[in-house]
Amino acid sequence: MQSVDGERTMRTLVIGDLHCPADHEDYLNFCLDMKRKYKTNNTVFIGDIIDHEAISAHDKNPSLPSPSDEFAQAKEHVYKWYSVFKNAYVCIGNHDARVQKKAVKNGIPEIYLKSYSDVYNTPHWNWNYSFEFNGVYYVHGDGWGGQYPAFNAAKARLQSVVCGHHHSLAAINWIKGPNTMYFGMNVGCGVDQNHAALNYSRPHLKKAILSCGIVIDGNQPYLEIM
């Protein structure tokens, strides 16, 4: 985890899972609108920037591109986000880490792998598994469950938590004790539910909620639905 503290008013825009190249075509402009509305000066991508469907362990969809073609498409989509949000903190999600997991499984040391910034040409993005700003913990959130995973994590950590991963959840829940008050926020996502890479989710009754989060000075969370 990387902790970042600053004395200015911090207005953090939290961008949901993208799963490039399966990000929704309208989500970028929506996030830009929220950046302007809340005058944010800090940006966090909450993880799963890349989908990596072509190298997943699931059965392959013949209508989807090869790993090389998917990578080229994903890199093009990532560049659109990078060109707008040039300086950002990027939580590494379970889909992002699929290449690294395959390397470990096959006994390939990390030293042989390029960094995320090098692979996707995002030199000003800070990729890490989690970050902390103004006492709020930001992480992708895979491995957490329950009706409100971020809230469950907040109760366990005794601090406010923001996470993604759960596409059909967009919620802010609070808990207050005698001397403390903190929240858990699930930020929804920015995926295109109709993209072939997300075919696995079509039978699910719960559908993706396109939304993003905003956190001001660590104690004022907001959710905006697209």
The helices-and-strands tally (H runs, E runs) of the chain is: 5, 12
Enter the tokens of residue 99.
């290449």
What pLDDT shows up at residue 1? 59
Which residues have CB under 8 Å from 110's CB, separation 6+? Answer: 100, 103
Strands 130-133 and 136-139: antiparallel
What pLDDT shows up at residue 105? 87
Q: How many residues does the chain have?
A: 226
Is the link from the previous residue into 21 a cis peptide, with omega within 30 of 0?
yes
Enter the tokens of residue 16.
């949901």
Tens digit of pLDDT at every position of the chain (226 positions): 555 555 578 999 999 999 999 999 999 999 999 999 999 999 999 999 999 888 876 666 776 778 888 889 999 999 999 999 999 999 999 999 988 888 888 899 888 889 999 999 999 999 999 999 999 999 999 988 888 999 999 999 999 999 999 999 999 999 998 889 999 999 999 999 888 877 777 777 688 999 999 999 999 999 999 9
What pLDDT shows up at residue 44? 98
CA distance 197 to 47: 17
What pLDDT shows up at residue 118? 95
Q: Are 164 and 48 in contact (CB under 8 A)?
A: yes
Q: Which residue has the tokens 């403390």?
A: 180
What pLDDT shows up at residue 55? 80
- Give backbone dihedrals phi and psi of 157, rounded to 5 degrees, phi first: -90, -15
